[in-house]
Amino acid sequence: MVSKAVLVTGIVAFALSGVVFFLAAWFGKPEDSVPTESGVPEWQQDLMQKYLADSFKEDGAKNDMDQVDNKLILEVLKNLTTLPHVAGGDQDHKLAQYVKDKFLEYGLNHAEVN
């Protein structure tokens, strides 16, 4: 059985290590990670703006939406939800294989199931 002194020492050491890690994380964060009025750091806002500006150009978005096939989406969702698939089970592995095959069919260069 553990003595009271060892138990108290362990608890105090654990609490102090938590305080030390908290202080290191709090005072060690970079200045530009301070949230703005919206709650999002400025560098993150800049990154999102650049991504959105590059991603949703008028011609690209229209072209992407023209290629969406609602019937194909419905077919894939039905295939994924028809049978129960408990995590780690045989049916789950079959569905993972199905998703991998679809990724390859749609042009992904590499996909694997472990």
Report yes or no on 109 lying in a domain.
Answer: yes
pLDDT at 36: 61
Per-residue pLDDT tens, the chain, 114 aa: give them: 668 888 889 888 888 888 888 777 777 666 555 556 667 777 777 777 776 666 655 655 566 666 777 888 888 888 888 877 778 888 888 888 888 888 888 788 888 888
- Note the pLDDT of residue 86: 79
The DSSP annotation for 24-91 comes to HHHHHS-GGGSB-TTSSBHHHHHHHHHHHHHH--HHHHHHHHHT--HHHHHHHHHHHHSS---TTSHH
Structure tokens at 92: 């789950």
Domain of 96?
A: 69-114
Domain count, the chain: 1
Residue 106 lies in a domain: yes
Is 1 part of a structural domain of the chain?
no
